[in-house]
Amino acid sequence: MDLLIFKSSSKAIHRKKRVGRGRSSGHGKTSCRGQNGQKARSKIAKWFEGGQMPLVRRIPKRGFNRSSNEKNQIINVGDLNIFKEGEIVTPEVLKKAGLIKKGGKIKILAQGNLYRSLKVRAHAFSKKAQEKIEEVKGMVEVI
């Protein structure tokens, strides 16, 4: 049987409803949405479930979530005055002294003044901090 022999009825083809085109369009004012109410508004999320906890938040999460929030631990030059003259300051020494809490990258910033000559090893230094350490005849070493 060939389907091309069937012709569609003229009543089967409808014009697309153009809403929101003024009162004289036949669909005016409320644009076929009835009176006021939540469903008459234009901004309801398709996943909105009437206030109950959405499916996306109900189901357990699986998979790998990369934590990319590793930030530099900051130590100021003024905090290094607790060490003795000529001492080598490394991340392990800083952890023992209680200046840093956990492992990770350490950055030395320039707040405060340094009064002792130290050899400081860290992952990063600000330019002013480097100048202040070298000003008192200390050494800077980037790990």
**Helix (H, G, I), strand (E, B), or coil: what is residue 80?**
helix
Q: Which two tokens stand for residue 69?
A: 């929030």
Asked whether the whole model's pTM tops 0.85, one would answer no
Residue 81 and residue 51 in one domain: no
Note the pLDDT tens digit of each residue in 47-92: 888 889 999 889 998 888 777 667 788 999 988 889 888 889 999 9
Residue 60 and residue 86 in one domain: no
Contact 109, 96 (CB under 8 A): no
Do the domain assignments include residue 10?
no
Do the domain assignments include residue 6?
no
Residue 77 and residue 59 in one domain: no
| pLDDT given for residue 116 in this prediction | 87
One-letter amino acid at 44 equals: I
Measured over the CA atoms of residue 42, residue 43, residue 46 and residue 47, the dihedral's sign is negative
Domain that holds residue 138: 73-142
Residue 60 and residue 87 in one domain: no
Which of 76, 113, 128, 102 has its CA nearest to residue 89?
Answer: 76
b/e per residue 52-86 (b: at least 16 CB within 10 A): eeeeeeeeeeeeeeeeeeeeebebbbebbeebeee
Residue 51 and residue 83 in one domain: no
Residue 86 and residue 126 in one domain: yes
Torsion region of 18: left, alpha or beta (phi above 0 gives left; psi -120 to 50 gives alpha): beta
Do the domain assignments include residue 50?
yes
| Count of domains forming the chain | 2
The mean pLDDT of the chain is: 86
| pLDDT given for residue 41 in this prediction | 84
Strands (E), 8-118: 73-76, 88-89, 106-109
